[in-house]
Structure 1
Amino acid sequence: MTIKEIAKISGVSIATVSRVINNDESFRVSEKTREKIMKNIKKYGYIKRNIGTNINRFKVGIIKLFETEIEYKNTYYSMFYLTLENRLKEEKIKYEIFFKKKLNNPKTLEELKFLDAIIIVGETSDKFLLSLLKYNTNILCLDNDIKIDSVDSISFDYKLSVKKVIDYLIKQGHSNIALITGKYDKKDFRAKYFEEITKKRKNLKRTILKVGEFKKESGYLLTKELLKNKKNIPTAIFCGNDNIASGVYNAIYESGRKIPDDISVIGFNDNKISKFLNPPLTTISINIDNIIDIGIKLLKEKIYNKRTFTCKVLVQTDLIIRKSIKKL
């Protein structure tokens, strides 16, 4: 029998069987589970196959945190998933897509046990990840700087990326800055670090935080609201993503103001539309290709080479300077 078949009979994940077979001392498993696995191996036999010639037998699960409609509106994540799926196909790694909302079904959760790994893209709670670890111990988080020791993660330095934006705006002479962002399950990291960093910048006169959704309509409505207070109009608006920035542009122009002459705008994510806005949008670029390439490498190390230690990787972000920021 193969390791996958032993895992299925034993009611555990493939990773669990692998670690028991390889006497992984860093892996905690109950003696009862260990005995059950070894009993099944003895009873049915276990054939170790040559990984180099049987890579097509591996399969991973991609857990999508958002519904298709939300993903469609947030081009960053739609591009992320498309790139990820294409890379898995190139590596001949089979995959199956699961939606977070459907994981309350016990039968669906049981299916996770028989995957070689689980990939999650985007920010999610520790509570959700800990619940998944009960079904599969091989989890890879992309675009999420997760702190759980046993979970591999590849992301970017959240705090440093926000600091880059604030320091650049201050350098350009802006002292009245607003952040318009969104949130999913928890407070957006941009909001968290915006508040933390701006408190320490004594040369800032005023900061404003508006939280809605990560979409164009939200950026438009929150900017309209922001511009109603004529005594407190910011000289620069930092947007949680480039979709929000697109809505901010519309609201500013609708008010009779110009970008960047009257209000400067800076985005986040550098999606495909940002360089075609008028004027082209200054933004933070996250290298999706690098995150996914490193993720695939870590995935293969875990699946093919049985790596037992955890990896945490932070990828550099870049400030893409275009024409939406005015120097005061």
Structure 2
Amino acid sequence: MITIKDIARLANVSHTTVSRALNNSPLIKEPTKRKILEIASQLNYSPNVNAKSLVMQKSHTIGLFLTSISNGTSSSFLADTIKGVNSMITNEYNLFIRGIDDYEDYTSINSQRFDGIILMSQSVSDNSFIYHVLQKEIPLVVLNREVEETSIPNVLSNDTEGARMAVEYLITNGHHHIAIIEGTPSFKSSYMRKEGYLQALMEAGIPIKKEYSIQGNYDMESGSQAMEQLLSLTSPPTAVFCSNDDMAIGAMNTVFARGLSVPYDISIVGFDDIGFSQYTTPRLTTVKRPVEEISRVGVERLLSLIGGKEEEVERTFMKTELIVRDSVRMLS
């Protein structure tokens, strides 16, 4: 294995000079730097990241944490989050992914293990983790959920506004009997989306029916079961707002299993605009929430923090957008 000492011997310089040249130090003259880099290239030199980490006190690891990976987090949400983060991380960093609920305590979360942490936060139960990371002085960016701590860069979408748009669209299409399949109870997004649903109904003067609110868990199975309950009511709704697309797809499946049709017997709107949404039959009308974009912006903020750039800490809201497709019928 080629070492810095081998390069130093061939270049006739000290190993300190080689180290500085490889780390692009301004203390090394350009001709010397070029000579060292040329020799390193010819020898196919690969730096020992672990040794470098010990010297520079860097782990070269970025942590991506979610409230939970196995409970209430849809596979599409997880995939979009990882895709967005991974697209922005350079080869200098390894990506470590974990659910907060996997930990009994946070003693292993420290600055020796992580250069920075991105938290895709779904619940206020994450606050103890957030305070631990701040206490350990690890650069942190929180995504997806609005946090009160003003010292943390915070990137999220306005889910309440998105849900309100979706339900308003149903109302403009003549629907007044509109149900909601809610998301995972402990997740802030579930609360925000129900808030948007209620706002739209109240502004339109439509009575709120308790039996039209069914609890789901952000997965297809709970969407299917919730739709079963709604269709079994004495007066079923004409339209359903599902708090995410996975539950909307599960709900559509139950409608078809009952020998009914979407949208002619019942209209359905989802939330998230996952990849499958445009390939369902009919194609699903939904609210686009830019999870990938939120993740990318989050990484940009984190890399700036790690690099020591003094930036104004701010809360950034990414716009949601109603994507109209074929799953809503206009009532006469």
Q: Is the TM-score greater than 0.5?
A: yes
1:142 is aligned to 2:143: yes
Corresponding residue of 2:283 = 280
SS in 2 for 1:119: strand
Letter of the aligned partner of 2:118 in structure 1?
A: I
Letter of the aligned partner of 1:66 in structure 2?
A: S
Segments of 5+ residues of structure 1 without an aligned counterpart are 1-48
Corresponding residue of 1:121 = 120
Change (3 A) 1:305 1:226: same
User: Are the aligned partners of 2:114 and 2:138 in contact in 1 as well (CA < 8 Å)?
Assistant: no
Tell me the distance in 2 between the aligned counterparts of 1:318 and 1:76. Answer: 17
Residues 60-102 of structure 1, C-alpha deviations (whole Å, 9 max, x = no match): 221132235765x5322223223312431x4633332333124
SS in 1 for 2:275: coil
Tell me the distance in 1 between the aligned counterparts of 2:102 and 2:259. Answer: 46
Tell me the distance in 2 between the aligned counterparts of 1:51 and 1:179. Answer: 59
Letter of the aligned partner of 2:97 in structure 1?
A: I
User: Are the aligned partners of 2:84 and 2:296 in contact in 1 as well (CA < 8 Å)?
Assistant: no
TM-score of the superposed pair, with normalisation by structure 1:
0.75
Corresponding residue of 2:99 = 99
Corresponding residue of 2:204 = 201
Residues 218-276 of structure 1, C-alpha deviations (whole Å, 9 max, x = no match): 1111111111113x211110011111011111111222221111110001111111111
Tell me the distance in 1 between the aligned counterparts of 2:247 and 2:115. Answer: 37
SS in 1 for 2:131: helix
Tell me the distance in 2 between the aligned counterparts of 1:225 and 1:310. Answer: 45
Change (3 A) 1:303 1:78: same
Corresponding residue of 2:48 = none
Tell me the distance in 2 between the aligned counterparts of 1:308 and 1:301. Answer: 8
Tell me the distance in 2 between the aligned counterparts of 1:320 and 1:193. Answer: 17
Q: How many angstroms does 1:159 deviate by?
A: 1.7
User: Are the aligned partners of 1:139 and 1:152 in contact in 2 as well (CA < 8 Å)?
Assistant: yes
Q: How many angstroms does 1:186 deviate by?
A: 4.1
Change (3 A) 1:136 1:104: farther
TM-score of the superposed pair, with normalisation by structure 2:
0.74
Corresponding residue of 2:13 = none
In the alignment, which of 262, 267, 283 is matched to residue 259 of structure 1? 262
SS in 2 for 1:309: coil
Tell me the distance in 1 between the aligned counterparts of 2:300 and 2:62. Answer: 14
Tell me the distance in 1 between the aligned counterparts of 2:159 and 2:112. Answer: 32
Corresponding residue of 2:294 = 291
Tell me the distance in 1 between the aligned counterparts of 2:301 and 2:174. Answer: 43
SS in 1 for 2:215: strand
Q: How many angstroms does 1:314 deviate by?
A: 0.6
Tell me the distance in 1 between the aligned counterparts of 2:173 and 2:80. Answer: 32
1:300 is aligned to 2:303: yes
User: Are the aligned partners of 1:266 and 1:281 in contact in 2 as well (CA < 8 Å)?
Assistant: yes
Tell me the distance in 1 between the aligned counterparts of 2:226 and 2:325. Answer: 24
Tell me the distance in 2 between the aligned counterparts of 1:227 and 1:316. Answer: 33
Tell me the distance in 2 between the aligned counterparts of 1:51 and 1:215. Answer: 52
Q: How many angstroms does 1:164 deviate by?
A: 0.9
Tell me the distance in 2 between the aligned counterparts of 1:112 and 1:304. Answer: 14
**Aligned residues between the structures:** 274
Segments of 5+ residues of structure 2 without an aligned counterpart are 1-22, 27-51
Pairwise CA RMSD? 2.7
Tell me the distance in 2 between the aligned counterparts of 1:227 and 1:191. Answer: 20
Change (3 A) 1:206 1:144: closer
Change (3 A) 1:223 1:112: farther
Identity score, percent: 22
Tell me the distance in 2 between the aligned counterparts of 1:106 and 1:261. Answer: 52
User: Are the aligned partners of 2:111 and 2:138 in contact in 1 as well (CA < 8 Å)?
Assistant: no
Tell me the distance in 2 between the aligned counterparts of 1:325 and 1:171. Answer: 11
Corresponding residue of 1:19 = none
Q: How many angstroms does 1:163 deviate by?
A: 1.4
User: Are the aligned partners of 1:117 and 1:136 in contact in 2 as well (CA < 8 Å)?
Assistant: no
1:34-53 alignment to 2 at 5 Å? none
Corresponding residue of 2:19 = none
User: Are the aligned partners of 1:237 and 1:265 in contact in 2 as well (CA < 8 Å)?
Assistant: yes
Corresponding residue of 1:217 = 221
More strand by share: 1
Residues 3-47 of structure 1, C-alpha deviations (whole Å, 9 max, x = no match): xxxxxxxxxxxxxxxxxxxxxxxxxxxxxxxxxxxxxxxxxxxxx
User: Are the aligned partners of 1:191 and 1:209 in contact in 2 as well (CA < 8 Å)?
Assistant: no
Tell me the distance in 2 between the aligned counterparts of 1:256 and 1:102. Answer: 42
Letter of the aligned partner of 2:134 in structure 1?
A: L
Tell me the distance in 2 between the aligned counterparts of 1:93 and 1:106. Answer: 22
Q: How many angstroms does 1:206 deviate by?
A: 4.8
